[in-house]
Each structure stands twice: as structure tokens, then as C-alpha cells.
Chain A
Amino acid sequence: MTVVNDAQPAVITARHTDNVVVGDEIIRHRRITRLMHWSVALTFFIALFSGMPIWTPLFAWMAALVGGMEVARIIHPYAGSLFFIASVFQFFHWLGDMRFRSDEKGAWKPSKLMAYMRWEENTTDEGGKFNPGQKVFFFAVCLGAIGLLLSGLIMWFPLYFPRIVRELSILLHDITFIFFLIGIITHIYLGTAAEPGTFRSMTRGTVTRRWARLHHPGWFRDVDKKG
């Protein structure tokens, strides 16, 4: 019996190593990175689908996805807590790659962001493995996860806290969640339809040379030099 994937050296290498060229592909996210990111994504979506029906009856239908309103109330804080734990692992895993570089000063400015979204960013601005937008999003998510956890814990055990604290927690939880909602829609759009070739970096783990050169020229140069 032939094992099909034995014929795919890139996939095998992607199990343990990233930032290397294998044949026509470049390994962008090795297996552990992908596992971490999917843990964050899965727990996030369980928290999302169990939190949103509690937020407004407009999304009451989402409760059916997790087994009804009562189930939503029970599993939401657990899914949220797991999301937080997964985010902590991901934070330390990615922290090194997410450091802002000196050539990225001011790259987070709205004007730069708009230029990026018009697909007009400056290609001589070479950057690292992640672009400044991704780094800002990364730190925002980490901060948001802390906000959701702290407010969520108070909402989990409301009877132990004074009323004003509970009210402020609900407001904090809601406002943070709304930023997450905007963020996740944008994040998924950029990772799929808007930038083809990106999604496979989180499934197969690899990207093409053309993709790397377009989206992360600095990273491409470094990895390509290594060979």
C-alpha cells in the first residue's frame, strides 16, 4: 500500500519545520502553529455561537447550533475559558514573530491601512513574517481575550459581585465582543476570499513563492536566501 502523502515532501516537512522552501512551496505554519490556531478558532466559534443568542434574540437561531439556550448558557463560559487558554499558548508561540520592527513605525496609521486595503501598499516596505496590520490585530486580540475573561468570570458568578460591578462587566464583555465581531469578519475575509492562497497556510501549512513574494516580501527574501 502506498502512503499518498509520502509523495509530498512539503507536507511532511511542515509537520515540524517552518520558514523553509520545499520544492515549489514555502512552509509558513508548521503543524503545532496550525493546531494552536485552530484551537483558538474552534473555541472562539463555540463561544461566539453560544454567546450571540444570549446577546440578542436576533441571533437566537444560533442557540440551535449548540443545543439550545440552556446549553448555550452552560457551555459558553467553558468555551470562553478554553478560548482564553488557547490564546495564551498562541500568544507565547507567536510573540517573537509579532514584535514590531523599526521599519514598521507608523505602519498602523489609518492612511496606511486604507492604502493596504486598496491593495496599494508599498512593496519596498519589506517587513517580517507578519505585516503590521496582523501584529496590531494579534495584540488587540490578546488584550480583548483578557477583557472577555475578566468580565466573563464576573458574569459567570454574578451573585458574588455587587450590582454595579456586574453591570460594568456586561458592558465591557459586550463592547469587547463587538470589536471581536468586526475583527473576525475582517480576519476571515482577508484569510480566504480577499487574499487567495492564504487559507492553505493554515490547512496544508504551505504557501506558494508568488504568494510569499506578494504578501510578505521581507519574509520571502529571508526564507529564500536560506534555500
Chain B
Amino acid sequence: MASQTLEIHRSSASMWGTRTGIRSLPTVAKYVDTTTCIGCKACEAACQEWNDLKRVPTSQDGSYQTMPKLQADFWNLIKFNETEIDGNFNWLMRKDQCMHCAEPGCLAACPAPGAIVQYANGIVDVNPDSCIGCGYCATGCPFDVPKFHAKTGKMAKCTLCVDRAEVGLEPACVKACPTGCLSYGTKDDMVALGILRVKQLKDSGFKDAILYDPQGVGGTSVVTVLKYNRPELYDLPADPHVSMGVKIWKQVVRPLGVIAGFLTMFAVFGHYTKYGPKEPPADEGRAA
């Protein structure tokens, strides 16, 4: 859903993006307060509508959740995690979507130049025209977000409504949320809001409330207030980071392979200049 006006900070399979450094744009972020989410799914509907996504059948899996997982045509899913804590039933809502990581694993893994970009404002977006549908991004993402569209074979995910963000509007989900548990603004403002809310929660007895902004991926542009400091209860990874396998692949094996390839070429030319071709001696006939 490529933006036409935002400068690109980072671009997959490229040395750098198109950011000139002349304009300075603040990082934007979405604030999610799971403690005031009532599970109304207005954000799900708004996302489908604004992004013109086709209607996806819901599935009944013994929970109020719309479907088990995100899909290529469904980018924003409220997870209805049912848990018992201290003998009390808890409904831990969580907004599942692309987290817009500052250090996105999807972008690191993507082999197609420009298929995944990170704009100067921090939004991570896919360019379907450059995507080759290889699935590497799904391997690179610590949040299991990118999904493949069966028909086009391209990756699709939340764009943080980049088309709205670039004209100064809040994302569609934020606009639709009736309880105010979603907010949108600069990352600094959203973190400040989160810290304030966490303090409030602590004061009212939820001693281990936290603001989920995982530093393993450099922080995310979706910051989430959690009542309990147990991300796994919310179906979130406790310490997400770009996996070791992806790092070894891109940062160790690949450069070593390139060097090995060129060294072999040099060795071959070096060998030829030193030893020349192996020719039979001239005086050889049938008597052998």
C-alpha cells in the first residue's frame, strides 16, 4: 500500500532507503490499553472497511474471538485470551496486528529489493509490486504477523494506515474505538501516555502492570499496556527479537559465502597465471 509522499528510512535487500535527512519526521505510534478494551470489535470492522478488505468468514472455536489468527484479508484481530489469575476469571483482550518494529525482522529477512520498507515515521509497509511471495518475512517476524494472500501470492499485513498517517489522520481502528483505549500520536507521546496509565494501574492495585514496548526489536510503534507483566498470557512473546538463525543467515553465512565465491575466482585466475594449463608432453605416441 506504498506511500507516495513519505520518505523511506530502510528498504529490504537494499543498502539504504530514500531518506534525505532534510525533513525530520517524528516516529508515530499507536497506544493500546488492554485494560479498557471491551472486546466490541469496532476496530476490526473499521480496519476491514478502511482498507477495502474482503469479508472473511468468522469461525466458532468456543470463544468470542473472531478467528484464530490474523489472515491476509484480516489485519487486526482482538484476541480474547481467557485466563484464571488468583482464582478469578480474566478476559485478557489484546490487539493482534503488525507491531511496526523499529528493527523489523521481516525487513531483515526479505530478499526482494524494496518489497518491505520502513518509512521515516517508523511505519513498516509492504510493496506488493516488489514482493515475490517467498515467505522469508514470515520466518523473520517474531510476532507471526505477515500472511500470504493465496490468490496473489503476496504478503499482506497492517499498514498502520499509512495512507491516513501521511495526511495527518489517525488509523481507522483508533478513530472507531468507543472506549478510548486506542490512541495515536508521536511515539514519545504514546509512551508518556502508557507510563501514566501504568502508574494509575499500579496505584489501583495492579502492582506488575507494564507498558509492552519490547526493546529486543528496538521498540515497536504499537505500545500496549498490560495489567500483568506476563506477556505470554496475552499471546505475546516475552522477549521478541530477530532470531539467531536469521542473523547468522544474513550477517554471517551470506557475507562469508560472497567472500568464498570471489576468493575461488581469484584462486582460479591465480592458479592459471602461476601453473598455466596442464598440457601433455609433446613426444608421446602410440608406444605407451
* Distance from B149 Cβ to chain A, minimum over Cβ atoms (Å): 12
Known contacts A119-B275, A167-B243, A185-B265; A214/B280 CB under 8 A: yes
A163-B139 contact, Cβ under 8 Å, with A170-B245, A213-B284, A213-B288: yes
A46 within 8 Å of B by Cβ?
no
Cβ-neighbour of B268 out of A163, A164, A185 (below 8 A): A185
A119–B271 alpha-carbon span in the complex (Å):
11
CB-CB under 8 A from B253, the residues of chain A are 171, 174-175, 178
Is the C-beta of A166 less than 8 angstroms from some C-beta in chain B? Answer: yes
- Residues of B close to A195: CB separation below 8 A: 277-278
A106 at the interface (CB under 8 A from B): no
Smallest CB separation, B211 vs chain A (Å)? 27
B268 CB to closest chain A CB, in angstroms?
4
| Beta-carbon contact of A73 and B133 below 8 Å | yes
User: Are B268 and A209 in contact, with the CB atoms below 8 A?
Assistant: no
**Distance of B150 from chain A, by nearest CB (Å):** 10
Judge if A220 is at the interface, Cβ distance under 8 Å: yes
In the complex, how many residues of chain B place their beta carbon closer than 8 angstroms to a beta carbon of chain A? 41
User: Is A7 on the interface with B (CB-CB < 8 A)?
Assistant: no
Q: Are A159 and B148 in contact (CB under 8 A)?
A: yes
Contact partner of B249 (CB less than 8 A), chosen from A170, A182, A211, is A170
Q: Is B201 an interface residue (CB 8 A)?
A: no
Asked if A70 is at the interface of the complex by the 8 Å CB criterion, the answer is yes
Which one of B264, B278, B280 contacts A185 once the chains associate, using CB atoms below 8 Å?
Answer: B264
CA distance A185 to B266 in the complex (A): 10
Minimum C-beta distance from B229 to chain A (A): 25
A159 to B146, CA, bound (A): 11
B275, A118: Cβ atoms under 8 Å? Answer: yes
CA distance A161 to B139 in the complex (A): 10
Q: Which residue of the partner chain B has the closest CB to A164?
A: B245
Q: In the complex the two chains form, is B132's CB within 8 Å of A178's CB? A: no
Within the assembled complex, what's the spacing in Å between the Cα atoms of A72 and B275? Answer: 38
Chain B neighbourhood of A211, CB < 8 A? 280
Which residues on the B side are within 8 Å of A215 (C-beta)? Answer: 278
A193 part of interface (Cβ distance < 8 Å): yes
CB neighbours (8 Å) of B144 from chain A are 163
Contact of B257 among A158, A177, A189 (CB under 8 A): A177
Check if A117 is an interface residue, CB within 8 A of chain B: yes
Quick check: is A57 within 8 A (CB to CB) of the other chain?
yes
Q: Is A150 an interface residue (CB 8 A)?
A: no
**Known A167-B139, A221-B288; contact A69-B268, beta-carbon cutoff 8 A:** no
Determine if B248 and A209 form an interchain contact, defined as CB atoms under 8 angstroms apart.
Answer: no
Task: Determine whether B18 belongs to the interface, using a CB cutoff of 8 Å to chain A.
Answer: no
Given contacts A73-B134, A158-B139, contact A189 B280 (CB under 8 A): no
Select from chain A the residue with minimum beta-carbon distance to B130: A69
In the complex, are the beta carbons of B272 and A170 less than 8 A apart?
Answer: no
Give B194-245 interface residues, CB cut-off 8 Å to A. 243, 245
Q: A56-B254, A73-B134 are in contact. List 9 more A-B contacts (CB 8 A).
A: A55-B254, A55-B257, A57-B111, A73-B132, A158-B135, A158-B139, A195-B277, A197-B280, A211-B280
Q: Point out residues on A near B: beta carbons under 8 Å.
A: 53-58, 60, 69-70, 72-73, 117-119, 155, 158-159, 163-164, 166-168, 170-171, 174-175, 177-178, 181-182, 185-186, 189, 193-197, 209-211, 213-215, 220-221, 224
Closest 4 CB pairs of A and B: A167-B245, A158-B135, A210-B280, A178-B257
Taking Cβ atoms with an 8 Å cutoff, the residues of B that contact A are: 13-14, 111-113, 130, 132-136, 138-139, 144, 148, 243, 245-246, 248-249, 253-254, 256-258, 260-261, 264-265, 268, 271-272, 275, 277-281, 284, 286, 288
**Can you list 26 A-B pairs, Cβ within 8 angstroms, ordered by A?**
A54-B134, A56-B13, A73-B132, A73-B133, A73-B134, A119-B278, A155-B134, A158-B134, A159-B135, A159-B138, A159-B148, A163-B144, A166-B135, A167-B139, A167-B243, A167-B245, A168-B245, A171-B249, A181-B261, A185-B261, A186-B264, A194-B278, A195-B277, A213-B280, A213-B288, A214-B279
